[in-house]
Amino acid sequence: SIMLDPSMLKKRDQLKKPVNEILRDINKRSKAKVEMKNGPGGTLVFEGTGPTDDVRIALKEAANQICANHNLTIPIPASIRGRVVGKQGATIQAISKNTGAKINISRQEAAKILEEDDLDEMVDVTIEGDPFAVQMARDDIERIVNEHTSTASSRLKHIAPEYYPFLAAPGNARMAAMQRDRDLQMQIPQYTAFSQHAPPQVPANRGPASFAPQANMPIQLSGDRQAVAEMKAEIDRQVAELQRQLTLEQVNVERGRHQFVVGDLGTSLNDFLAETGCSVILPPDGHDADELLVVGPPDRIDQAVEKIEELASAMASAQADIMKTHQNAPRGGQAHARDVTRYLQQRQALQHIEQQYGARIEANSSGQWQIYAKDPKSALKARSDILNLIQGHPPTRFSPLEVDPFYHQHLRQQAAQQVRKQHGVHVVVPDEFDDSPILLVYEDSSTPSDYELPRKAPSAQDAQAFERALQEAQQHILDMISGQQQIVSQEVEAPLKFHDKVRKHVDRHHADLPQGQIPVQVGYGGQRQAPGAQKRAPQPTVHLRGPQDNVDAIMQSLLAFIEQEKQDELERGFTLAFDFPQKYASFLIGRGGENINRLRDEFDVDIQLQEGKCEVKGPEAKANAAKKHILDMAKKLEDEATHHLSIPAQFHRDLIGPQGTQVNRLQDRYGVRVNFPRTRNGGDDGASEAGDAPASRKQQQQQQPNEVIVEGPSKGADACRDELLSLLQYVKDNSFSTTVSVAQSQIPSLIGSGGREMEALRLETGAQVDVPSAKDIGPSGRAEIRIKGSKQAVEAAKKLIEERAKQFDNTVTRNLDIEKKHHRTIIGAGGANLTSLIERAGGPTDSRSRARTVRFPKSEAEGNTIRIEGESAMVEKLCAAILAHVSDQDSQTTDVAEVKPDKHRLLIGRGGETRRQLEQQFGVTINVPRQTETGPQRSQVKIAGQPEAVEKAKAHILDITKDQEGETIQVPRKYHHVIADNNQFFRRLRNDHKVSVDHAGQKPPPRASAPTPKRDANGGAMPLITDDPSSGSNAHSWELHDLHGSSEEGEIPWVLAGPSPEAIAAAKAKLDKALADAAKQDTVGFLILPDPRAYRHVVGPGGSEINRIRKKTGTKIQVPKDQSQGEAIEITGSKEGVEEARDVILEVVARNARE
């Protein structure tokens, strides 16, 4: 029922019918019954009976027809405004929609609320509608307020920050007691440095000091409303006491030592306050003042001053004059010092030095750097490192470049990386409020992360390379900005209220620019201020800066846009009202008001939707455009289709996807709604719901558990239905499942380190494998692993897991306590011995499984225990083999064989192959001394193993390294290299007869330069390629050279050493023959044919022709692989044989030319 004052009713002449007839008509249409009765105090009571929803609708209709519109203003706390409005206005729109009332919070009041969020701030909410609608809206709003007004927040801006340390001090027992066991949070800003404005004045005779509050750093209180109010009162009381008690004193301390008083390198403010009863206020960063301010009781000021002097003087200091190092720089020492400082600060090199030496560096552009450290040695080391760093950065590494600040951002974001990559030059771009030029610094071609700052002066050659790279980098930057028009600045008048819209317009303009074009810089509300500057009120201007044409273009666009906005502002009262089907209201509003808010921004109008009526308010053209869009939407929605799909509930989760991703993709693609039935617990199944529309909720209540509803435009709904059914079939095909029981202790091995084993199983089989968590495993100790996927994938995964489970159930673990000295020999070189032991015992062959089979302790703390795990029979065999190996090692002996160092190579072989063969042959370990060994140990080869094996190995080693038979043959020095044939002859003797060759300490003669043919591209015997081929087929080039024309005289001994006289004799016979051949092969000839195509005739099919010529003439013939014109055929042998071979070759060429 509702109770109304008679004055709220419409006048009789405003009613379409008498009240009784109106009620009678409503009762006929409704399931509810509404009656009017007289109430107390002359009021009228409208009472409804029947179903709740029907009574509510009937009373609402009665009030709408009988009562006049009513306005009601209710105040609410400013801090609750956001809760009433809701995200993007969703809450207040829902209240308006449900009650039929219009609710308004003015934008001006909203802005004030956002700026002044305080305990006592209130804001008015205006409700308009019939009394019933107003009453329901009021009840809904007051319910929200009551839910959230148990807590409050407050910002205290009227308190000077100089009092903050005393309020926040740990010793403030009353403040701590008020926070204890109460729902109250207090945040007091830390105040250690006064702001950019002038510091407070020092009072005379240490009287009470006067401090000014700073509204930008208030104390913040939040929590229980009553507790906040009490704390606020307590703070005001304590501040009043502090105003009477505290004075101010000024102390002069060297600027660089301020950091050691209070801060990271000094004491904490709380500790200082606890010890001295005073606080310290430092000058702000970037301020050159030496004065510190001490705030405290007059009788404690002297103690605080002494403490400050003690802390400041505790640090050692050193000075580095970086300007002096390069005082003769072309641009002057001061300019170079400034460049180096900028570069090293941006490179964070000074921070690295500070961390390395525990120091603090005060670097300034004047070149006089101060270094502070607790240890004087650390300060000096840091100074030395800085000077070395300066030495490595002479003026030749630096080059300033004047570029208009308009390009700075582009250089910083894009060009700097290109210049560094292409030229090895680092680009230092000044900050926004720094008027310094761009600085180019040469580093090198390495990547910036690998580059190390040099600490040595570069050479003159390096300086030239620096100059070239800097010039190229400078040209790169100038080329990038060349061709641009003059950079200009313009200001456009734009009221502050339009700035947000102007920003959006500018963003759209910039988004349409061609790729690579630098956008015009746009500032709002006047020129930007430097950090720390006193804030000023924003100006109604938009600042443009960039190339002339670009500025002009955007300026014209902005002027037109602002003018249009001004015209639109005059038409904001224009309103269009039209019908919009209520059943589509949820589509127009969207989830959380998303759609309607997007339309408001897009068309710049206000849109309200209420009971089948849509109202658009704004400029006429924009309102008409919005109306057309909304009506077009309604027209599309009329073409709606609804499909009811029967899908078993067990497949819903797979169709919806994680967090609704799959169903949302379908909805976005086809522009439809897909409604899955809600679960019984009311949880969100991830499906998209149809907003808060009553029809949708009713549909949800009637939806069957296996029913999925697809709604939307017919074309999209049909396509979505087909894809959903196809997806269902896919899910069915891949929804085979089974379970495998495994021991709980086996789960870690099934999963593997980082899940690698389980991931490998999934990739191999294609099945989905779900392993239960520890809390889901019952007391039986068995875990049920669930496998899901296609039939083949499920069967394959099940088979693999069952095999592993069977293997695990038969797995045993045995620990062997074996001294650490044996672990290395058990493993063997590269794990070879351990691999052999495991395989012989029937263990796994893959490396990962072998690693699990045998595990050695990783550190001394883990003891001597070797853990062996696997199938029982294999474990027993492997344990027996390891124990046998250890027993064998314990019974081993070591013997020494004396072998001359020059014979060690006979024991080692290439890559140690001979030693490995000997160790495998005799079952021993052979240790050959290193070349760095000296003394007797140099010739002692150690053999370790079983006594009998050691004895046999030693005898064999002594046999193969004993002094061999030998014979010396004198070879003419001029034939030495001919016979040696690049040492190939020595290798043949060693491989065929085991005979080695040395030269009794003599150095082999130097290798004579090999003769080469003369090539002349423009004359001589070699014809040009442009010559007439008919001028003669015999136009070839021929040269003869004496191979033994060397000036080397005398002989060189060849000492042949081998295992037997027979081997020596055989080697000697080969050497004699080689000597005879060398004496004969005294000539080399170079034959160049005019036509490169003729070379193939010299070779013949399969080399038959060239082999015939070699055999006939007794010469060596090499035909060039690259048979281009000018390459020679090389013929080696006796002079007669060489000339004969030449004639035969020419004859072959001539014969083939005729054919």
pLDDT tops 50 at residue 695: no
The reported pLDDT for the residue numbered 399 is: 94
Of the ranges 84-88, 126-130, 734-738, 810-814, which is most confident? 126-130
Nearest-angstrom CA–CA distance, 595 and 610: 16
Q: Give the model's confidence band at 120: pLDDT under 50 very low, under 70 low, under 90 confident, else very high.
A: low
pLDDT value of position 690: 34
Contact assessment for residue 634 and residue 640, using Cβ atoms and an 8 Å cutoff: no
pLDDT over 90, % of the chain? 12
Q: Which of 193-202, 233-242, 365-374, 692-701 is predicted most confidently?
A: 233-242
Range scoring the smallest mean pLDDT among 19-33, 230-244, 454-468, 940-954: 19-33
What is the mean predicted confidence (pLDDT) over 111-140? Answer: 70
Q: What is the pLDDT of residue 671?
A: 84
Per-residue pLDDT reduced to its tens digit, 777-789 = 777 778 888 888 8
Angular region, 532: left φ>0, alpha ψ -120 to 50, beta rest: left
pLDDT of residue 699: 52
Q: What residues have CB less than 8 Å from 709, skipping those under 6 apart?
A: 642, 643, 644, 645, 673, 674, 675, 699, 703
Q: Which residues contact 928 (CB under 8 A, 6 or more apart)?
A: 904, 907, 908, 915, 941
Helix, strand counts (H, E) of the chain: 43, 43
Sign of torsion over alpha carbons 454, 457, 462, 467 = positive
Q: pTM (2 decimals)?
A: 0.45
- Percent helix, strand, coil in the chain (nearest 5)? 50, 20, 30
User: Which one of 330-334, 424-428, 730-734 scores highest in mean pLDDT?
Assistant: 424-428
Query: Does 624 score more than 90 pLDDT?
Result: yes
Name the pLDDT band for 1023 (thresholds 50, 70, 90).
very low
How many alpha carbons lie under 13 Å from residue 801 in its C-beta half-sphere? 31
**What is the rounded distance in angstroms from the CA atom of residue 808 to the CA atom of residue 980?**
65
Whether the per-residue pLDDT at 13 is higher than 80: the answer is: no
pLDDT for 1034 equals 53
* CA angle (244 as vertex; 243, 250 as ends), nearest 5: 70
CB 170 within 8 A of CB 225: no
Buried b (16+ CB within 10 A) or exposed e, 2-18: bebeeebbeeeeeeeee
Once rounded to an integer, what is the mean pLDDT over residues 267-285? 87
* Mean pLDDT on 82-89: 77
Distance between CA atoms of residues 786 and 784, nearest Å: 6
pLDDT average, residue stretch 301-318: 88
| Displacement of CA 1130 from its chain's centroid (Å) | 63
- Taking residues 941-964, report their average pLDDT: 86
Exposure string for 697-715, b = 16+ CB within 10 A, e = fewer: eebeeebeeeebbbbbbee
On whether the CB atoms of residues 401 and 440 are closer than 8 A, the answer is: yes
Quick: pLDDT tens for 753-769.
Answer: 677 778 888 888 888 88
Q: Using the predicted structure, report yes or no on whether residue 795 has a pLDDT greater than 90.
A: no
Q: Is residue 149 predicted with pLDDT exceeding 80?
A: no
pLDDT value at residue 531: 52
Answer whether residue 1031 shows pLDDT above 90: no
Please give the order of strands across the beta sheet that includes 2-4.
Answer: 2-4, 44-49, 33-38
Average the pLDDT over 511-525 and give the result. 83
Residues facing residue 161 across a β-bridge: none
pLDDT band at 529 (very low <50, low <70, confident <90, very high): low
Residue 431 DSSP one-character state = P
DSSP of 993-1010? H--EEE-TTPPPPPPPPP
**Phi, psi at residue 762, to the nearest 5°?**
-65, -40
pLDDT score for 389: 93
- Quick check: 356 and 422 in contact, CB under 8 A? no
C-alpha 237/C-alpha 806 separation (Å) is 79
3-state secondary structure 797-842: HHHHHHHHHHHHHCEEEEEEECCHHHHHHHHCHHHHHHHHHHHHCC
Contact of 1056 with 967, CB cutoff 8 Å: yes
Mean pLDDT of 812-834: 84
Tens digit of each residue's pLDDT (9 = 90 or more) over 856-900: 887 666 678 888 888 888 888 999 988 888 888 788 888 999 888
Q: What's the rounded Cα separation, in Å, for the pair 358 and 373?
A: 6
Instruction: Give 548-575 pLDDT, tens digit per residue.
Output: 888 898 999 999 988 888 888 888 888 8
Task: Give the confidence band of 248 by pLDDT, cuts at 50, 70, 90.
Answer: very high
pLDDT reading at 528 higher than 70:
no
Looking up tokens 């993709």 gives 665
Q: What is the mean pLDDT of residues 601-605?
A: 88
- pLDDT above 70 for 687: no
The rounded percent of the chain whose pLDDT value lies above 70 is 91
Instruction: Report the phi/psi class of residue 856: left, alpha or beta, with left for phi > 0 and alpha for psi in -120 to 50.
Output: beta
- Apex CA 484: angle with CA 482 and CA 489, to 5°? 135
Q: CA-CA distance, 763 to 740, in Å (whole number)?
A: 18
Helix (H, G, I), strand (E, B) or coil at 736: strand
Q: Which residue has the tokens 């225990």?
A: 865
Residue 688 pLDDT more than 60? no
Q: What number is the average pLDDT over the span 818-825?
A: 84
Residue ranges of domains in the chain, CATH in brackets: 2-150 (3.30.1370.10), 153-173+184-199+208-314 (3.30.1370.10), 315-391 (3.30.1370), 397-478 (3.30.1370), 487-525+539-570 (3.30.1370.10), 575-638 (3.30.1370.10), 644-688+704-733 (3.30.1370.10), 736-809 (3.30.1370.10), 813-890 (3.30.1370.10), 1013-1044+1081-1155 (3.30.1370.10)
Tell which residue, 869, 895, 884, has the closest CA to residue 826.
884
Q: Would strands 707-713 and 673-675 be described as parallel, antiparallel, or unpaired? A: antiparallel
Q: Quick: pLDDT tens for 978-1018.
A: 888 888 888 898 888 888 888 877 888 887 777 777 765 44
- Whether 698 has a pLDDT exceeding 70, the answer reads no
| Residues 6 or more apart whose Cβ sits within 8 Å of residue 801 | 740, 742, 750, 761, 769, 785, 787
In this prediction, residues 625-649 reach a mean pLDDT of: 88
The first and second tokens of residue 192, run together, are 């250690």
Decide if pLDDT at 361 tops 70. Answer: yes
pLDDT in tens, 459-480: 988 889 999 999 999 999 888 8
Cα–Cα nearest to 154, from 227, 213, 214: 227
What strands, in cross-sheet order, belong to the sheet with 707-713?
640-646, 707-713, 673-675
Residue 868, H or E segment: strand 865-871
pLDDT band of 400, cuts 50, 70, 90:
very high
